[in-house]
Structure 1
């Protein structure tokens, strides 16, 4: 199973490169750290950064070259209503070369389902993006995710697991609607010390109702630490 996931991770960018009208490919590292600040209050900090390696339009040759796409700094405060439901509020500051930096407020509710051999997560999120000289952008997002142990019926330290998720996103800005979808497939490792490592493909499509339909494929790898 691990070999199959690794093969998909490396061949998917090549498969999608010739499809669609606008295609981007790059690297997407992220780091997340979380800790309990009180009995039922969790604090989470996250940094994620996108680094482009390829741009291609339908009628042109692929343009290879490094560029910094954007970097996000995020902070969240969350509390659990019960073992399966949590509510969270957050803030994001985005650094985006060539554009004014933006601010984003975030609200979300998450639900956890435990099956016999895997976990199913549901997340409903709303956010509002504020950028100088631009109307406020409102978004509504729903993500479903699956965490599947590879080496047993439950995930234990030192074992590998698979992660799959899909997230449609509806946006509204100055009366204009937009739709985006994000598919993720990754291989993870649950290490000792309450930390996880993941690497996989983050495949995003948007501009569905425009002439320049876009697909972005990111090789995403992350370190997630819980104190």
Structure 2
């Protein structure tokens, strides 16, 4: 992951010197409910509650305070197609002020398990539809590394470290393209085999193409429950 961090640092410093650089600070609490079904199928329900506590521009003391951004409700069905592979598809509703955004989702995931850690690759696309807006297409790739902090595997009442790095390409029309880079270092705790909690930083940087870089710092809190 070293090449990524070099790229990220170069982007941050170069855009800081050239253009308007804004930031957001907020929280992203999320609840994930999953249920295993027959024939290697699984269904997952996810709800996210995005809150913004501070918005501003670097070098400018003027800021905007609290704003409840939106609530997401998504359902995704997945099927294990091989020893390490899973395909998935689903639908998301985003509830925001006076508007409901609809999104269709397609995913392909590869999980490689090693002696002391796990490495995951997720390739996904989604299509977003909002009122009076052109349909937006996103192409995404995420790599995730997680490792137990006690022993060789993650067991009940133990901690683990999870680091994700994602590249998100967004196309709205021929003239509207954006690249977003995300870094998510998280620490997790396993209460039981069916109940775990993760928390950490969700850092996002985008708007490179328009030279008006936006950086977002989210406190991520993810609760996973298997039923």
Answering whether residue 23 of structure 2 is matched by residue 23 of structure 1, we say yes
TM-score relative to the length of structure 2: 0.88
Cα deviations across residues 58-84 of structure 1 (Å, max 9, x unaligned)?
342152521111211100011001231
Q: Distance in 1 between matches of 2:128 and 2:89?
A: 14
Q: Distance in 2 between matches of 1:167 and 1:157?
A: 28
2:11 counterpart residue number: none
Q: Distance in 2 between matches of 1:226 and 1:90?
A: 18
Answering whether residue 127 of structure 2 is matched by residue 128 of structure 1, we say yes
Q: Distance in 2 between matches of 1:105 and 1:223?
A: 23
Q: What pairs up with 1:1-227 in 2 under 5 angstroms?
A: 21-63=21-63, 65-97=65-97, 100-175=99-174, 176-227=176-227
Give the match's secondary structure for 2:99. Answer: coil
Q: Distance in 1 between matches of 2:212 and 2:104?
A: 28
TM-score relative to the length of structure 1: 0.88
The 8 Å contact of residues 200 and 221 in structure 2, kept in 1 or not, is answered as: yes
Cα deviations across residues 19-52 of structure 1 (Å, max 9, x unaligned)?
6711000111000000023232111000011101
Q: Distance in 1 between matches of 2:198 and 2:118?
A: 16
Offset of 1:204 from its aligned partner? Answer: 0.5
Q: How many residues of Structure 1 are paired with residues of Structure 2 in the alignment? A: 208
Q: Distance in 2 between matches of 1:112 and 1:62?
A: 45
Structure 2, unaligned runs of 5 or more: 1-15
**CA spacing shift, 1:171–1:65, aligned 2, 3 Å:** same
The 8 Å contact of residues 198 and 221 in structure 2, kept in 1 or not, is answered as: yes
